[in-house]
A = this chain, B = another copy of it.
Amino acid sequence: VDPERVQLRLAADHDRSIRALMVVHNETSTGVTSDIRTIRAAVDAAGHPALLLVDTVSSLASMDYRHDEWGVDVTVACSQKGLMLPPGLGFNALGERALAAAGDAGLGRSYWDWRAMLAANADGHFPYTPPTNLLYGLREALAMLSEEGLENVFARHRRHAEATRQAVRAWGLEVLCQDPARYSSSLTAVLVGDGGDADRVRQVALERYDLSLGAGLGRLAGRVFRIGHLGSLNDLMLAGTLCGVELSLARAGAGTGRGGVEAALDHLRGD
User: A88, A236, A259: which has the most chain B beta carbons within 10 Å?
Assistant: A236
Whether A86 sits at the interface, judged by CB under 8 Å, is: yes
State the majority secondary structure of interface residues on A: helix
Q: Give chain A interface residues in 232-263, CB to chain B under 8 Å.
A: 234-237, 239-241, 243-244, 246-247, 250-251, 258-259, 261-262
Whether A139 sits at the interface, judged by CB under 8 Å, is: no
Partner of A261, one of B87, B112, B243, B251: B243
Q: Once bound together, how far apart are the Cα atoms of A112 and B109, in whole Å?
A: 11
Flag if A247 contacts B261 (CB, 8 Å). Answer: no
Copies per complex of this chain: 4
Flag if A268 contacts B240 (CB, 8 Å). Answer: no
Partner of A236, one of B132, B235, B244: B244
Flag if B235 contacts A244 (CB, 8 Å). Answer: yes
Whether A209 sits at the interface, judged by CB under 8 Å, is: yes
Q: Once bound together, how far apart are the Cα atoms of A221 and B239, in whole Å?
A: 29
Whether A32 sits at the interface, judged by CB under 8 Å, is: no
Return 11 A-B CB contacts under 8 Å, by A number. A78-B129, A87-B130, A87-B131, A87-B132, A88-B131, A236-B240, A237-B240, A239-B239, A250-B269, A259-B262, A261-B262
